[in-house]
Structure 1
């Protein structure tokens, strides 16, 4: 094999002789190449260093990177705990759109996703489903509170249970999701939807169930039976205009009823014999036209009930209840009276009898919207037990407040009503005459002499009149002289 540098014809070498100058040029080129590579490496290092410094500068200047992730997580929790969150338009989804850090922090904070509230509409059910699924996954193993609000007209236009809505119940009732549910509130859900939720038996860990109406294409005149909820201890019902049957009533210890007729509310109330708290709120607008007397057992005893809120109205169902009601361990009673002016004889006698049966364990009495006459007040008050320590008047008529203050003011050598009274709260703005009655009552009762007394009223807004006693100054002077804690609060604009 011949070398390519030898001529094939003459056999002479075609490679020119290598002199010293030629070798020197090659070495110089090699040196330049090495220096170029070294400079390239150095430039790359400078660029990397510049990039690190730029990132550091961005970190220092960025409002989202000053705080550690743990601190951001706490801030997110604090900001979302003050208001109900509405998934889809609330802050949770927006967190992910701010920056990657916020998204990472929010998506890895399960407590943020443990309270979910959303409106379910057929047109947006697909996006509702996707976001609800995201919330359930991000919540991890946290106990869940779920609030789903349907629209009755929207559902009825689709036949109550359209497929897109059906997918939501399937998602919620999955065992891995259902087992985490502790609080569930449904507004106007399809009746079949409720039954399906419990069909798989996954809601055994549910503690609180709230139902605000239902949607059904058929009449529920025969009543509506709730699913068996063996571990639910708090039941909240509203806008139910048909009889409700509660199979697991024995486990209910707290019952809240609102926006329902007295007849329906009484029927629910008497099923739950193990109640500790019961709250029923109503008004004349939510009372049904039906006025049916209920055939109730006698007596109706709630052996564990310590707190009762009820509205006493001119309904036969109310009369039936109060005629037989016995509360041996009651500690707090809030009673609204919807009669304006003198109370008719039959309900008055029922109230008298009910008050006389109240136990000595009663320490807190709250009267709401009362307006009865001076004579009614004079005859009712002595029937109440003398163990009452806190008396609260909420939105009562000014005339009734005056009547009550007169009854609390003892004449000479007269027995005091509520001798153990320690606190008086009045929600209404008091006129000058009423404020004077308050001062006289405290003075004659001797409240604050032997034990501390607390009075909480709206801040008086009237000024002293020259030549007339300063009723505000007199009250404040009495509070300073006695052990009376006088507290003023500001009324909201609507209350003034």
Structure 2
């Protein structure tokens, strides 16, 4: 006990100095509380100092900041899960705030997302953010399709005023705002440009203005990645701007328009993405020769009206160095694709990742389509979405009972999404046990399997659990239900992904 406190409490309570004694005790308590708070603060500071991150040099911390705040753009100009910004980092502690505020490169990436019609002080916020970035090249992502004209014009004005420093620009605005943007011709270092609009009915071609000064190759010599909502009406006046493109993506496009773009960029394009491919109803009278796209590495073609556009385009292109292919067939067009066998035969030694969506009503059509892809010897990853018949044709071809030998000998990752039928069935069980167990000496063991289905029964899941009990592969099962399967699948065997939707089917449903 401190001496002063001991002396104080020894004074009799009936002493004339009782009031002074109380004041001294209260002051002692205040001093002790202050000392305790200081001790706690020093202890916390010592803990922070001893933390591993506090021992890192500022140069390394700033690199971590950049990885956290600077998003990576995909082929369509979109972003991943980018939620971190310098303001949040600066709120952690004083040291981080001082470091973030003084590091100009951290502020060179601007992400603005809004679903409101107007935003208060938007122009001031952007101006402040850009001023903190110093002279670093800017990456700007604006996702605000509902903004009123005055707010959108403010954004466009700021972009134009900083055009000489813009390296990546991604805009999701109403279609009427883009002509103001494309008429600017001062983009000397622009490398990535993405235009997106709300999903509205569009004409065959997008008329964004006759000037298109932004696409003059002399003012934009380094453009590498370009995403457009659809084919541009005045495309023929700026093909030279496409000569250096490595990635081109588009939301809506016709097969003849896609052919023109591939022809213009055949010497540089490495990735082509058509999210919604349609069949061209017009003809320019030009004979389309076969294109050999020796540089193309990734191709995405998804039909939305019928497969006619896909059939015509595949018959006109050869891609001998393709690494990744995504084909989306129309749900209600089950006619064969004559160009598919020849197209896939050119990929037998280069293709590594295949994503295919097909819904075939008859077993014959399913087998015909699956047989087109089975001869790809180099495939490492297969992502399949389809109906019951095409699913059965694929599973039977990969199982132990395949009549024509082993298919996909290098396959390591297999994702299957099946609708309108039950999973698992006997064929899938046999195939997974065979491919996951390493029994076959002519194909590698499956390392990762993802299964997604809308319907399944308890009995079938229990059979699959027992069949794969000794498997060392990672098995992921996703279903549209709320039931818990932990009693069937131990954590080391399967990861559970829950989606909202139907309940599990009963055994009686399976029998029916």
- TM-score class, shorter-chain normalisation, is 0.5 to 0.7
Q: Over alpha carbons, which structure has the higher Rg? A: 1
Task: Tell me, yes or no, if structure 1 residue 392 matches structure 2 residue 379.
Answer: no
Q: 1:407 aligns with which of 389, 394, 397?
A: 397
Within 2, Cα distance between the matches of 1:431 and 1:191?
Answer: 48
1:275 maps to which residue?
269
| Shift in Å, 1:471 | 3.9
1:118 maps to which residue?
112
Within 2, Cα distance between the matches of 1:222 and 1:135?
Answer: 31
CA 1:247–1:62: 2 relative to 1, 3 Å: farther
| Shift in Å, 1:206 | 2.4
1:491 maps to which residue?
497
1:304 maps to which residue?
295
Within 2, Cα distance between the matches of 1:110 and 1:370?
Answer: 52
CA 1:119–1:472: 2 relative to 1, 3 Å: closer
Within 1, Cα distance between the matches of 2:152 and 2:474?
Answer: 57
SS of the residue corresponding to residue 392 of structure 2 reads: helix
SS of the residue corresponding to residue 298 of structure 1 reads: coil
1:456 maps to which residue?
449
1:33-57 Cα distance to aligned partner (Å, 9 max, x none): xxxxxxxxxxxxxxxxxxxx99976
| Shift in Å, 1:415 | 2.1
The answer to whether the 8 Å contact 1:213/1:239 transfers is: no
SS of the residue corresponding to residue 329 of structure 1 reads: coil
Within 1, Cα distance between the matches of 2:289 and 2:393?
Answer: 34
Task: Tell me, yes or no, if structure 1 residue 238 matches structure 2 residue 244.
Answer: no
1:255-270 alignment, distance < 5 Å: 255-260=248-253, 264-270=257-263
1:470 maps to which residue?
463
Task: Tell me, yes or no, if structure 1 residue 154 matches structure 2 residue 148.
Answer: yes
1:411-450 alignment, distance < 5 Å: 414-416=403-405, 418=407, 420-428=409-417, 431-434=422-425, 436-440=427-431, 443=434, 448-450=440-442
SS of the residue corresponding to residue 401 of structure 1 reads: helix
The answer to whether the 8 Å contact 1:129/1:167 transfers is: no
Q: 2:364 aligns with which of 368, 375, 382?
A: 375
CA 1:398–1:115: 2 relative to 1, 3 Å: farther
| Shift in Å, 1:363 | 3.5
Within 2, Cα distance between the matches of 1:490 and 1:241?
Answer: 44
Within 2, Cα distance between the matches of 1:382 and 1:96?
Answer: 57
Within 2, Cα distance between the matches of 1:206 and 1:492?
Answer: 42
Within 1, Cα distance between the matches of 2:107 and 2:208?
Answer: 39
Within 2, Cα distance between the matches of 1:349 and 1:64?
Answer: 72
Q: 2:130 aligns with which of 125, 130, 136?
A: 136
1:210-263 Cα distance to aligned partner (Å, 9 max, x none): 1224999x9829988561332122222235675645432121112222355555
SS of the residue corresponding to residue 453 of structure 1 reads: coil
Within 1, Cα distance between the matches of 2:134 and 2:270?
Answer: 33
Within 2, Cα distance between the matches of 1:340 and 1:64?
Answer: 67
Within 2, Cα distance between the matches of 1:111 and 1:365?
Answer: 38
CA 1:101–1:339: 2 relative to 1, 3 Å: closer
| Shift in Å, 1:85 | 6.7
The more displaced of 223-232 and 374-383 is 223-232
2:170 maps to which residue?
185
The answer to whether the 8 Å contact 2:248/2:269 transfers is: yes
Within 1, Cα distance between the matches of 2:208 and 2:156?
Answer: 26
SS of the residue corresponding to residue 296 of structure 2 reads: coil
1:344 maps to which residue?
335
SS of the residue corresponding to residue 251 of structure 1 reads: coil
CA 1:264–1:154: 2 relative to 1, 3 Å: farther
| Shift in Å, 1:444 | 9.5
Within 2, Cα distance between the matches of 1:196 and 1:64?
Answer: 57
User: Is there any run of 5+ residues in structure 1 with no aligned partner, and where?
Assistant: 1-52
CA 1:81–1:182: 2 relative to 1, 3 Å: closer
Within 2, Cα distance between the matches of 1:65 and 1:402?
Answer: 60
| Shift in Å, 1:323 | 1.9
SS of the residue corresponding to residue 332 of structure 2 reads: coil
CA 1:435–1:105: 2 relative to 1, 3 Å: farther
Within 2, Cα distance between the matches of 1:196 and 1:440?
Answer: 58
Within 1, Cα distance between the matches of 2:206 and 2:383?
Answer: 41
The answer to whether the 8 Å contact 1:377/1:407 transfers is: no
Q: Give the TM-score normalised by structure 1.
A: 0.66
Q: Give the TM-score normalised by structure 2.
A: 0.64
